[in-house]
Amino acid sequence: MTTEAVLPADLETALPTTLFRFATAGSVDDGKSTLVGRLLHDSKAILADTLDAVARTSADRGFGGDKGGIDLALLTDGLRAEREQGITIDVAYRYFATDQRSFILADCPGHVQYTKNTVTGASTADAVVVLIDARKGVLEQTRRHLSVLQLLRVAHVIVAVNKIDLVDFSESVFRGIEADVQQVGRELGLGSDGISDLLVIPVSALDGDNVVERSERTPWYSGPALLEVLETLPAADELESHLESFRFPVQLVIRPQGALAPDAVAASLDAEAFRDYRAYAGQITEGSVKVGDKVSVLTPGQAPRTTTVAGIDFAGSSLEEAAAPQSVAIRLADEFDVARGDTIAAAGTVREASADLYAALCWLSPKPLREGQKVLVKHGTRTVQAMVRSVSGKLDLATFKLEGASSLELNDIGHAQAPPRSTPAAGELPAPPPYRCLPGDRSAGRQHAGRRPGQGPPGRPRGRALQHLRSSPSRRNRRNSARPP
Amino acid sequence: MAKHHAPAPKLRSKDELKALAEAGAAELGWDAPARDVIAWVERNFDLPAVAVACSMADAVLPALVADQMPGVDVLFLETGYHFPETYATRDEVAANLRVNVVDVLPETTVEQQDRLLGKDLFARDAAQCCALRKVAPLQRTLAGYELWFTGVRRDEAPTRTNTPLVSWDEKNGLVKVNPMAAWTFDQPGRVLRRQPPARQPAAFPGLPLHRLPALHPQGGARRGPPRRPLGRIRQDRMRATRMSTYLSEETQVTDSAVSTRLSSLDTLESEAIHIIREVVAEFEKPALLFSGGKDSVVMLHLATKAFWPGKVPFPVLHVDTGHNFPEVIDFRDRTVERLGLKLVVGSVQEFIDRGELAERADGTRNPLQTVPLLDAIQQNRFDAVFGGGRRDEDKARAKERILSLRDEFGQWDPRNQRPELWNLYNGRHTVGQHVRAFPISNWTELDIWRYIERENIELPGLYYAHEREVFARDGMWRAVGEVSQPRADEQVITKTVRYRTVGDMSCTGAVESNAYTVSDVVVEVAASTLTERGATRADDRISEAAMEDRKKDGYF
């Protein structure tokens, strides 16, 4: 639900709201769920019956002692086990709106064991808020989260130094942590890589200082409150869609022939109008496209084929242009054989195809990633088999140096090389990586496609440890830059 | 500056004005020029009975009207929170145009309100603040007029495409005229960005009207100092409740980026269509769970858009509890026929008749849907089932992935969900397992209603206000029907109600409502203080973890 004001139509402003996705991450007991509860509560996103239920449960558990406060964390911990243990296990998605924006909030778990869930929540976020307990400062889990965010190429990283009330609103404590955070940022390239920015804010989630409103108890801090930041940061697509080259992984081919939608038939006087209709359906992952643009169709094992965009269709209307993240159907001037897994890209922006994949990754499966292991690589709309040739190293979270390793355990961050299995004779990756060079990988002369692993389904048949290596298919390809090993 | 006007002349009766509005609408048609619209007003209304609403974001409307009706009242909503530049515009309008600027004042000054309701109410409760400082004062003021002009244009929003030139404003009880309704404006972002904030009042004498900054739909919201991404103190948060787009000189958003920015509804629509297409591409035999409820109706609408001009390439599945509202079943059948779809029905009644399910003591059949659902999935070998679940509905739903793996028993394992990164969905499963796909996971109830309004989607009539015999139980209004009979101590009364969800009749409650149209519902939902399920579903109230328990068992 939202907090939007209700006005007579004429008083409403006309531009519709945009969407902003953000996630929260932190170590156990950093007060993350409380912060989220505070944001929801103070922005009036909690409706009366939900608040009643939370107040009842808080009272039952004697939260806040005699004063009878509300345990804001109960607002987000949705699973029985979470409420029982008082920790967050999986990402909880929450929705609220202010007069500025509609928000999707992914409240991620802090425990190292649930990093895979944090990765899930952060992957779609325009911004991530990392919490630090002011009494504890930067912890290993903080360093892990910041590394993961760098890996995911999250555009905006906000570090909230929480429980500032418990250190008596001390400026020196805050400045010390701020300096540590900036140091970590420098080592990781966060905030200085031209992709992300890094901001540090002192907050008290429990009391609300600098969460929605700027606090008078931190006079030494002149920056914005957290919600102010979230309301004004540009979303990733707003930042990027004009910077990047057009990329369109084909999801499926729309070729109805006889099976036309009744309303499409009704709308068209000519029943034959769609007889030869053929369009490629997908979501634009980067950049924008116009009718008449020159594009290349990238198919594994084939040289790029160049043609022009004949039409952009969406549910009965024809568009002149479209941009990420729109879902559309594209018609091409030439009748190529194009199928799911192929990519349509702006002509002249495609790098050479390669059979080698060098990936910086965070391993999310309980079964370790080992050299020689067979994996699946999901790459745009295509899934291919590959084999891990070598694991080049694993990140030491204390030094951020890559140390020698031959396998990656759950939650390890490391580098691996995985040429696809059953490589075509030509030695090409089944789908040529349609990625462009980013500032970050200028120094690296290899193909980097920012592959990151997911976890395979549990209980694979025949006990094979096939894992999903997943690529970033989307606008997030800005995250393709690989880090020098 | 003029305060409230002297008492207005005696106004004509509402019936008379209403008839006049109808005649005007007929005479002017759909797209008469603004000049003709204003001329019609001039012929039929006395000057003191006419007002022009103006945000001082622009001066086009007052300029237009003043040209033909010099001395007209221009209403300025003086909330006390405007940017200095807005006040400057107001002063220049007052000085340079032949109009009478009327400051519409709230009951209290900002200082008084701060004392009464606490400081910065706008930040804590924008709705209340706007009601006090904008809506109520405006309504009070309009009561003294027979007609008001607004600057609404049809191209501002999909919801405004039907804006008439002249209409009867039921809410405020006077004639409303939108002389600029038919005007269009392309590339708002570009003009907006070119317009230096301080120039607008001085600009209009020489410029042709269509070049005026006024043409920006909400220019006023952007007046003032350039916005900085951080560190900006928001002085004027009330100025634009829906203002959301972020324009920052510093972030170097180019014109093309501005022109292609998607609204939140477009973004959600695009995401849902992507998900639907992924599932169709990666699975052998998907089906869509269709109950005739609004969420499943929206989902089906999205599916028709995803595959246009082709047919929706999968069947729809309905689990009929046997206690469904007859109107909803009728709607379901009509929809399926209209789209030429195949319908698979799983029947709770049949399972009860066969003795495979037992009626519950409380008579509620919602929890009984699980077995017939899993049976239908197995019988038909569906490997993916689309559900209309939304994460804002419940704490357990808030945790579920968009693609959610179910084991051989249809169960969800909330503690061991797969990673789900970016827009990559892992649909791998073994024989016997299936996947539930939730394309509208990220939509809120309000998003659903706004989309229904925007896309003009038909729903069962139950969703809109109607009269019904009801009785109170568990704090909800329950319909009197075959399956929900009042107990002796429960009194039956006739009320105007609507349903926020249309599940099983035995456990779905109605809410009192006067929302007769989809726009009414949008307003009502936006203002609601209860969650959808909390307000209307008895079965979700059983325990903190009611939904989680049912989901684990295979419920949607």
Residues B31 and B116 in one domain: yes
Position A327: which residue type? S
- Residue A1 within any structural domain of the chain: no
Instruction: Give me the residue from B130, B134, B311 closest to A256, CB to CB.
Output: B311
Determine contact: B492 vs chain A, CB below 8 A. no
CA–CA separation, B388 and B299 (whole Å):
7
Determine contact: A119 vs chain B, CB below 8 A. yes
Residue B512 sits at the vertex; the CA angle it makes with B506 and B514, to the nearest 5 degrees, is 130
| Closest residue, chain B, to A118 (C-alpha) | B419
Worst-scoring range by mean pLDDT, A466-470, B175-179, B308-312, B373-377?
A466-470
Residues A365 and A235 in one domain: no
Q: Could you tell me the pLDDT band of residue B188, with boundaries at 50, 70 and 90? A: very low
Worst-scoring range by mean pLDDT, A127-136, A398-407, B536-545?
B536-545
Determine contact: A409 vs chain B, CB below 8 A. no
Question: What's the token pair of residue A71?
Answer: 């345990």
Model confidence at B233: pLDDT above 50: no
Which residues in B lie closer than 8 A to residue A281 (C-beta atoms)?
277, 306-307
Mean pLDDT calculated for residue range B20-45: 89
Q: Which residues contact A266 (CB under 8 A, 6 or more apart)?
A: none
- Residue A406 within any structural domain of the chain: yes
Quote the pLDDT of residue B538.
Answer: 53
**Under an 8 A CB cutoff, do A10 and B53 touch?**
yes
Residue B438 distance to chain A (closest CA, Å):
13
Which residues in B lie closer than 8 A to residue A106 (C-beta atoms)?
none
Residue A308 distance to chain B (closest CA, Å):
21
Q: Could you tell me the pLDDT band of residue B192, with boundaries at 50, 70 and 90? A: very low
Which residues in B lie closer than 8 A to residue A101 (C-beta atoms)?
244, 246
Chain B residues 203-232 within an 8 A CB cutoff of chain A: 217-218, 221, 227-232
Quote the pLDDT of residue B473.
Answer: 84
- Residue B122 within any structural domain of the chain: yes
Mean pLDDT calculated for residue range B521-545: 65
Residues A58 and A191 in one domain: yes
Which residues in A lie closer than 8 A to residue B120 (C-beta atoms)?
213
**C-alpha distances in Å from residue B229, one per residue of A81, A232, B203:** 40, 5, 28
Distance between terminal CA atoms of chain B? 61
* Contact status, residue B434 vs residue B384, Cβ threshold 8 Å: yes
Residues A365 and A395 in one domain: yes
Which residues in B lie closer than 8 A to residue A15 (C-beta atoms)?
156-157, 188, 217-218, 242-245, 263
Instruction: Give me the residue from A18, A94, A233 closest to B398, CB to CB.
Output: A94
Quote the pLDDT of residue B122.
Answer: 67
Quote the pLDDT of residue B519.
Answer: 92
CA–CA separation, A386 and A359 (whole Å):
12
Closest C-alpha to B525, from B329, B395, B397, B390: B390
Domain that holds residue B425: 265-443
Determine contact: B392 vs chain A, CB below 8 A. yes
**Number of domains observed in the structure of chain B:** 3
Which residues in A lie closer than 8 A to residue B312 (C-beta atoms)?
261
Residues B82 and B168 in one domain: yes
Model confidence at B554: pLDDT above 60: yes
Model confidence at A323: pLDDT above 70: yes
Residues A222 and A264 in one domain: no
**C-alpha distances in Å from residue A184, one per residue of A177, A312, A359:** 11, 45, 22
Residue A31 distance to chain B (closest CA, Å):
19
Quote the pLDDT of residue A85.
Answer: 65
- Residue A352 within any structural domain of the chain: no
Model confidence at B60: pLDDT above 60: yes
- CA torsion A135→A137→A143→A149, rounded to 10°? 80
- CA torsion A283→A286→A292→A295, rounded to 10°? -100
Chain A residues 209-268 within an 8 A CB cutoff of chain B: 212-213, 222-224, 228-229, 232-234, 237-239, 241-242, 251-252, 254-256, 259-264, 268
- Residue B548 within any structural domain of the chain: no
**Residue pLDDT, tens place only, B431-471:** 888 999 999 999 999 999 999 999 999 999 999 999 999 99
- Residue B554 within any structural domain of the chain: no
Instruction: Give me the residue from A92, A120, A268 closest to B420, CB to CB.
Output: A120
Q: What is the CATH number of the domain that holds A92?
A: 3.40.50.300
**Residue pLDDT, tens place only, B372-404:** 999 999 999 999 999 999 998 877 788 889 999
Worst-scoring range by mean pLDDT, A162-166, A393-397, A456-460, B25-29?
A456-460
Model confidence at A14: pLDDT above 50: no
Determine contact: A34 vs chain B, CB below 8 A. no
Residues A168 and A90 in one domain: yes
Q: Which of B394, B412, B443 is at the close of a domain?
A: B443
- Residue B292 within any structural domain of the chain: yes
**What is the rounded radius of gyration, in angstroms, for the C-alpha atoms of chain B?**
27
Q: Could you tell me the pLDDT band of residue A322, with boundaries at 50, 70 and 90? A: very high
Q: What is the CATH number of the domain that holds B171?
A: 3.40.50.620
Residues A139 and A272 in one domain: no
Residue B469 distance to chain A (closest CA, Å):
25
Residues B389 and B481 in one domain: no
Instruction: Give me the residue from A13, A47, A223 closest to B530, CB to CB.
Output: A47
Determine contact: B186 vs chain A, CB below 8 A. no
User: Max CA-CA distance within chain A?
Assistant: 76
**Under an 8 A CB cutoff, do A323 and B260 touch?**
yes
| Closest residue, chain B, to A52 (C-alpha) | B530
Mean pLDDT calculated for residue range B145-152: 90
Residues A225 and A271 in one domain: no
Chain A residues 337-356 within an 8 A CB cutoff of chain B: 340
**Under an 8 A CB cutoff, do A321 and B260 touch?**
yes
- Residue B250 within any structural domain of the chain: no
- Residue A410 within any structural domain of the chain: yes
Best residue in B142, B180, B236, B399 to probe A by mutation, most A CBs within 10 Å?
Answer: B399
Question: What's the token pair of residue B327?
Answer: 């109107």
Q: Which of B160, B190, B220 is at the close of a domain?
A: B190
Residues B427 and B473 in one domain: no
Residues A206 and A260 in one domain: no
Quote the pLDDT of residue A65.
Answer: 52
Question: What's the token pair of residue B312?
Answer: 């929706």
Q: Which of B136, B156, B190 is at the close of a domain?
A: B190
ipTM: 0.83
* Contact status, residue A456 vs residue B428, Cβ threshold 8 Å: yes
CA–CA separation, B61 and B153 (whole Å):
11
- Residue A155 within any structural domain of the chain: yes
Closest C-alpha to B281, from B314, B317, B316: B314
Quote the pLDDT of residue A426.
Answer: 29
**Under an 8 A CB cutoff, do A1 and B445 touch?**
yes
Residues B481 and B364 in one domain: no
Residue A410 sits at the vertex; the CA angle it makes with A407 and A411, to the nearest 5 degrees, is 110
Model confidence at B200: pLDDT above 50: no
Determine contact: B167 vs chain A, CB below 8 A. no
Instruction: Give me the residue from B237, B244, B268 closest to A15, CB to CB.
Output: B244
Worst-scoring range by mean pLDDT, A125-139, A265-279, A391-405?
A265-279
Residue B513 distance to chain A (closest CA, Å):
16
Q: Which of A312, A346, A380 is at the close of a domain?
A: A346
Q: Which of A346, A380, A408 is at the close of a domain?
A: A346
* Contact status, residue A284 vs residue A477, Cβ threshold 8 Å: no
Strands B434-437 and B384-386: parallel
Question: What's the token pair of residue B180?
Answer: 């600029």
Model confidence at A468: pLDDT above 60: no
List A317's β-bridge partners, or say none: A314
Best residue in B76, B132, B242 to probe A by mutation, most A CBs within 10 Å?
Answer: B242
Side-chain-side CA neighbours of B478 within 13 Å: the count stands at 23
Best residue in B341, B395, B543 to probe A by mutation, most A CBs within 10 Å?
Answer: B395
Query: Exposure of B173 by Cβ count < 10 A (0-12 exposed, 13-18 middle, 19+ buried)?
Result: middle
**Under an 8 A CB cutoff, do B421 and A119 touch?**
yes
Query: Exposure of B381 by Cβ count < 10 A (0-12 exposed, 13-18 middle, 19+ buried)?
Result: exposed
**Residue pLDDT, tens place only, A176-223:** 999 999 999 999 888 776 667 899 999 999 899 999 889 999 999 999
Pick from A15-24, B108-117, B516-525 the range whose average pLDDT is largest. Answer: B516-525
Model confidence at A6: pLDDT above 80: no
Query: Which is higher by pLDDT, B262 or B538?
Result: B262
- Residue A2 within any structural domain of the chain: no
- Residue keyed to tokens 């309701």: B117
Residues B314 and B380 in one domain: yes
Quote the pLDDT of residue A86.
Answer: 62
**C-alpha distances in Å from residue B485, one per residue of B489, B507, B540:** 11, 12, 21
Worst-scoring range by mean pLDDT, A39-43, A407-411, B528-532?
B528-532
Residues A211 and A311 in one domain: no
Which residues in B lie closer than 8 A to residue A285 (C-beta atoms)?
423
Mean pLDDT calculated for residue range A151-177: 95
- Residue keyed to tokens 């429980």: A163
Strands A413-417 and A358-362: antiparallel
Residues B171 and B134 in one domain: yes
Q: Could you tell me the pLDDT band of residue A306, with boundaries at 50, 70 and 90? A: very high
List B498's β-bridge partners, or say none: B511
CA–CA separation, A345 and A290 (whole Å):
12
Residue A94 distance to chain B (closest CA, Å):
6
Query: Which is higher by pLDDT, A160 or A270?
Result: A160
Residues A410 and A430 in one domain: yes
- Residue A3 within any structural domain of the chain: no
Quote the pLDDT of residue A131.
Answer: 95
Residues A201 and A308 in one domain: no
Q: Could you tell me the pLDDT band of residue A293, with boundaries at 50, 70 and 90? A: very high
- Residue keyed to tokens 């989902």: B299
Q: Could you tell me the pLDDT band of residue A470, with boundaries at 50, 70 and 90? A: very low
**Under an 8 A CB cutoff, do B309 and A264 touch?**
yes
Closest C-alpha to A5, from B518, B240, B126: B126
The average confidence (pLDDT) of chain B is 77
Model confidence at B533: pLDDT above 90: no
Q: Could you tell me the pLDDT band of residue B225, with boundaries at 50, 70 and 90? A: very low
**Under an 8 A CB cutoff, do B251 and A53 touch?**
no
- Residue B235 within any structural domain of the chain: no
Residues B495 and B352 in one domain: no
**Number of domains observed in the structure of chain A:** 3
- Residue A176 within any structural domain of the chain: yes
- Residue B483 within any structural domain of the chain: yes
Residues B466 and B424 in one domain: no
Residues B466 and B381 in one domain: no
Buried b (16+ CB within 10 A) or exposed e, B26-37: eebeeebebeeb
Residues B59 and B165 in one domain: yes
Mean pLDDT calculated for residue range B85-97: 79
**Under an 8 A CB cutoff, do B262 and A123 touch?**
no
Query: Which is higher by pLDDT, A50 or B433?
Result: B433
- Residue B556 within any structural domain of the chain: no
Mean pLDDT calculated for residue range B335-339: 94
Mean pLDDT calculated for residue range A119-134: 93
**C-alpha distances in Å from residue B138, one per residue of A31, B132, B241:** 44, 10, 16
Quote the pLDDT of residue B534.
Answer: 61
Question: What's the token pair of residue B477?
Answer: 């209004």
Domain that holds residue A439: 358-480
Residues B437 and B368 in one domain: yes
**Residue pLDDT, tens place only, A383-439:** 888 888 889 889 998 888 889 888 999 888 888 887 654 433 323 333 333 332 222
Quote the pLDDT of residue A386.
Answer: 84
Q: Which of A283, A316, A346 is at the close of a domain?
A: A346
Percent of chain B residues past pLDDT 70, beyond the cut = 76
* Contact status, residue B528 vs residue A47, Cβ threshold 8 Å: yes
Secondary structure element (H or E) that encloses residue A225, with its range: none
Query: Which is higher by pLDDT, B151 or B176?
Result: B176
**Under an 8 A CB cutoff, do A316 and B309 touch?**
yes
Residues A77 and A166 in one domain: yes
